[in-house]
Structure 1
């Protein structure tokens, strides 16, 4: 079975059109690709933390996660966000199943680093691919919340980009990051020139030129790391464009496709 892992950050969900969910259902129905959604939910987590009065902070872009914070994170991700996506897919006449990385030991996890100040922030050590295969055989679209668990039953908050990459690596899948921008682009005289194809050397060049900067740097670096670990292709696609995901899967020049060596046209 050919898989495409579709990663959606929490900040983009409010901007997605109904066509986005329709495209996911259509991709599955066409039979060539089995879609899997891995989602974040940062804005909702921050909102719930504020409402509950639970204090939080960040170290190097990762949320410091105490047990108290983790209760709220799990409520937001595995509860509201996860089931909301399942409902949207149902409205598009799709069949989805919402799970977290804890269910069926889907995402085996260990601490992200030896920096204990981060608390219960984890990274994936193993993906239970047989569980995903079983869902696919039942024509279900898995919607995965990035909460993992270790052998002792300890929960961990996993960065959604990293969780999506781990799932794609385990399945040898395509990895598609859904964004609210048209892809990686260079703005010249107020006009966005999108790079529809980038390779490793061109990405390094664009980082040095400060074209790729800020939060896009770790995203492209994680994309390259995934490609070195057998992911078929990594891309960044504008989920707010009407039927943009479907056009991307049809091979049209939508978004940015990242590969290791493929020649890149001049932009």
Structure 2
């Protein structure tokens, strides 16, 4: 059974209908795929930081993470959000196991930037996928919070898109970014167009021109890196239309597929 890693962004989290989590349970139950959920939590982290009056700027879509920011991010993601998703899957009839990358050193991490300007922002050095396999082989759905740890016990805040790409690479699965938009969009001749396929060269030019910006940058870059790391396929779909997930897994053209091949038009 193929593994499918679903990255659920913080911006879409609260908007997802119960039917979306029902779909995930049904995919597992019908043995269409082994789902793994990796989630973010940006908006709720922002709210918690604001309440605590803690500043946390972004650099190219990545949150500068001091020790104080890390504590709040871990509390929100590994605590509140992680267990909320577990609860939703349980409500749908499934068996979910919430964990962070710290548990069992699931996500072994190292600093993204050795200069230290980003603070405790990490990237995944290694995924200990045996823990994921243990859960999946016992009919469970892993739900992963992207906080990592290094060999000396230092914890790192990892961008959720990057963490999901690393998990998908390690499990040789497909990677689905669940968003609140139907894919990568662009205004062409006064019309909103969804790009059905994008390559690295096209993505680079769209970032340079400003069509792709903010939090979408690490998403598309993670998609490209995932393909290089052995991921079978990467796609951005709309989680607000739960049927899109099933249709994509049934081979239909849905959302924006990130590919290695020749540039194709929208």
TM-score class normalised by the smaller sequence: over 0.9
SS at match of 1:15: coil
8 Å CA contact retained: 1:184, 1:212: no
Bigger mean CA offset, 48-57 vs 113-122:
48-57
Alignment partner, residue 187 of structure 1 = 187
Q: After superposition, what is the alpha-carbon deviation per residue over 1:87-117, rounded to whole angstroms, capped at 9, x for unaligned?
A: 1111111111100001111000111111213
1:170 positional shift: 0.9
For residues 82-101 of structure 1, what are the structure 2 equivalents within 5 Å?
82-101=82-101
Cα distance change, pair 57–203 in 1 and its aligned pair in 2 (3 A) = closer
Q: After superposition, what is the alpha-carbon deviation per residue over 1:207-257, rounded to whole angstroms, capped at 9, x for unaligned?
A: 56x484213344222211211111100100001114221122112221111
Separation (CA, whole Å) in 1 of partners of 2:206 and 2:58: 27
Q: After superposition, what is the alpha-carbon deviation per residue over 1:169-198, rounded to whole angstroms, capped at 9, x for unaligned?
A: 111110111111111233345543322233
8 Å CA contact retained: 2:65, 2:121: yes
8 Å CA contact retained: 2:146, 2:163: yes
1:62 positional shift: 2.1
Q: TM-score, normalised by structure 2?
A: 0.92
Cα distance change, pair 76–226 in 1 and its aligned pair in 2 (3 A) = same
Alignment partner, residue 229 of structure 2 = 229
8 Å CA contact retained: 2:61, 2:218: no
Alignment partner, residue 213 of structure 1 = 212
8 Å CA contact retained: 2:70, 2:156: yes
Cα distance change, pair 221–57 in 1 and its aligned pair in 2 (3 A) = closer
8 Å CA contact retained: 2:23, 2:242: no
For residues 117-136 of structure 1, what are the structure 2 equivalents within 5 Å?
117-136=117-136
Cα distance change, pair 217–47 in 1 and its aligned pair in 2 (3 A) = closer
Structure 2 residue 2 is the aligned partner of structure 1 residue 16? no
Separation (CA, whole Å) in 2 of partners of 1:130 and 1:62: 28
SS at match of 1:116: coil
SS at match of 1:117: coil
Cα distance change, pair 26–156 in 1 and its aligned pair in 2 (3 A) = same
Alignment partner, residue 80 of structure 1 = 80
Alignment partner, residue 172 of structure 1 = 172
Alignment partner, residue 45 of structure 1 = 45
Separation (CA, whole Å) in 2 of partners of 1:207 and 1:64: 21
8 Å CA contact retained: 1:237, 1:244: yes
Separation (CA, whole Å) in 1 of partners of 2:139 and 2:242: 25
* Count of residue pairs the alignment pairs up: 265
Q: TM-score, normalised by structure 1?
A: 0.92
Separation (CA, whole Å) in 1 of partners of 2:121 and 2:255: 31
Segments of 5+ residues of structure 1 without an aligned counterpart are: none
1:165 positional shift: 0.7
Alignment partner, residue 254 of structure 1 = 254
8 Å CA contact retained: 1:109, 1:148: yes
RMSD of aligned C-alpha atoms? 1.9
For residues 93-172 of structure 1, what are the structure 2 equivalents within 5 Å?
93-172=93-172
